[in-house]
Amino acid sequence: MYNYIKIEERQAVMILTISAPKSLNALNSTILDEMNHFLDHFDCNKYRCLIITGDGEKSFVAGADISEMANLNVPQGQTFGSHGANVFRKIETLHVPVIAAVNGFALGGGCELAMACDIRICSDNARFGQPEVGLGIIPGFSGTVRLARLVGMGMAKQLIYTGKAIKADEALRIGLVNAVVSQAELMDKALELANQIAANAPLAVKAAKLCINAEYDMPMDEAITYESGIFGHCFATEDQKNGMKAFLNKEKPVFNGK
């Protein structure tokens, strides 16, 4: 069905692998189109977590495809940037958590893809960066938006202005990634985390993601009120009834997403 992405089911977890090894998984319009189609048809009722990774051990996503971008004019550049940004926004707002399993290079569009995910786990050979200013452009897939929110204004400006890549341990230190593991452990750790998430009440996890995303820019009082409303709605679910009954009976809960 797809030429540049591979999908694999692991019970309640779906793995999406970007597979364009000749270009180190660089993002072109076709790959973005395939990811967009995949996200539009992703069954959030069947799968409770999504893992995104890159094919091979050298690169998660080495960036956007420079050969495609080199001759773009202004309107075409805006269209290409908007396309990538829109796909990444779908990842950010997907109704299930998304884990980036970052193996190797995560530069430019690759770093931006990882930042659109909820959680980032990387291998010890990972490299992160936004090198666009060295090409005469800026990050175009929402990198200037998300990087500052993740690592702070000062560090984001330093990384974007210099275009320098950082190693995995530095990415962990500044809060860009959640964990660093060996290459051999990467997918096992990502699946372990995904399965931990998938074991919980899916409607509650969905509600928690909705709250965290929505409340980030809200004034404190507004955010607290918003959370209280979503919290209340949880009590209309079968999962809440089952979860609390199981807790009181010292049993393992079974969640059906209802």
Query: Which of the residues are catalytic?
Result: 112, 132
What is the layout of strands, in order, in the sheet containing 127-129?
A: 59-61, 105-107, 127-129, 166-167
CB atoms within 10 A of CB 165: 18
Q: Three-state DSSP class for 93?
A: coil
Supply the Cα-derived Rg of the chain in whole angstroms: 19
User: Could you give the CA distance from residue 130 to residue 109 in angstroms, rounded to a whole number?
Assistant: 8
Q: Three-state DSSP class for 257?
A: coil
> Token pair for residue 176?
């860009």
Closest to 13 measured CA to CA, from 115, 114, 96: 96
Longest dimension (CA), the chain: 65
